[in-house]
Homo-oligomer: A and B are copies of this chain.
Amino acid sequence: MPPSVQDLVDAASQGDKLALARLLTHVEKNSPDVPAVLHLLYPKAGNGYRVGFTGPPGGGKSTMVDQVTKVLRARDDAPAVGIIAVDPTSPFSGGAILGDRIRMQQHYKDEGVFVRSMATRGSHGGLPGVASRAATVMEASGKDYILLETVGVGQTELDIMEVADTVIVVLVPEAGDSVQTMKAGLMEIADIFVVNKADRDGADKLSREISSALHLSPKQSWWDVPIFLTQAHKGEGILEVTEAVERHRKALSESGNLEAKRQRRGTMEFFKTVEENISTGLHGLLAGNDHLQSIIGRIHRGEIDPYSAAVEVMRNRELLSTWVETLGG
């Protein structure tokens, strides 16, 4: 008999890694048990602190996460760390990536660290929701810090960073000029900037350009976004970055913004969950519903455009009622 959701939650709360991994799989695959899992876990969550790492591929974000974890674990209070690496690669893309994951897993023999890669293809835009739930699961299982890492940088990655309390944007000197950074929407979301691989040409120039841009459009009265030069592979500058996270946490909390952020996150989670249920219900209806099937056929044959078809469906009270009946279980 497979363990019940309650068993898994109990075991994960007591530090059982297999149970935690299974709960994360539930969340990642959006299994029917997810609401039950999260209902049980939510009261135990809320004490973890979420730090997001984003920036273009190849900037050394994984190494940075690795080193920040080391710094945190070396502290007197040795906080437990959960790492969520959001990875859009399909599971069968090649040995190199598998190797990379094994490297991470081997590195974290430490019992106080849990690493999870989440593949994202096919999650249909629900990824920020999945990342947020995974963070909740990790918090509830006793992780004090949740480090969220993305591979690329784009709209979804910006949305993922909204589920973090502190956002660190990692750049490298040669990853394009500061105008590119601004275009990618990174200026707006950064609480801390890191120029990694700072021994390379152009690090100081990039740092100055970011600094000027920050002065042109200051974000908040209660926080000046700092810029750090690091060499993550050598551990240089990591202590300073980690201390800045703590300062930002304090400033967030004292200004009342941490509470406001968490409330917004709760509202977002609520709407996302409702929307997902509705969308899943609609897709589920497709297989058995002749009317929906026939509409899709007409779209494929070019007899109706998708937008008019959508309007037709939304005006079909009978279909909508059938659909509503399928919701809520």
Contacts and interface: CB of A to CB of B under 8 A. Distances in A.
Interface string A150-171: 1111111111000000000000
B185 A310 contact: no
Given A93-B182, A94-B182, A299 B275 contact: no
A284 interface: no
> Interface size class for chain A?
35 or more
Nearest to A277: B314
Contacts of A279: 271, 275, 278
Interface of A: 34-35, 38-39, 42-43, 46, 56-59, 87-90, 92-94, 96-97, 100, 120-121, 123, 125, 127, 150-159, 174-177, 179-185, 187-188, 213, 216-217, 263, 266-267, 269-271, 273-275, 277-279, 282-283, 295-296, 299-300, 302, 305-311, 313-317, 320-321, 324, 327-329
Contact of A88 (B184, B216, B273, B309): B184
Contact of A176 (B57, B282, B296): B57
Contacts of A321: 324
Given A266-B299, A275-B279, A296-B267, A58 B175 contact: yes
A320 B266 CA distance: 21
A107 to B, nearest CB: 17
Task: Indicate the member of A154, A156, A314 with the most B CB atoms within 10 Å.
Answer: A154
Nearest to A276: B310
B176 A300 contact: no
Task: Indicate the member of A58, A216, A283 with the most B CB atoms within 10 Å.
Answer: A58
Given A154-B155, A279-B275, A300-B266, A42 B182 contact: no
Contacts of A57: 56, 153, 175-176, 180-181, 183-184
Contacts of A120: 155
A125 B96 CA distance: 30
A316 B277 CA distance: 14
A105 B299 CA distance: 36
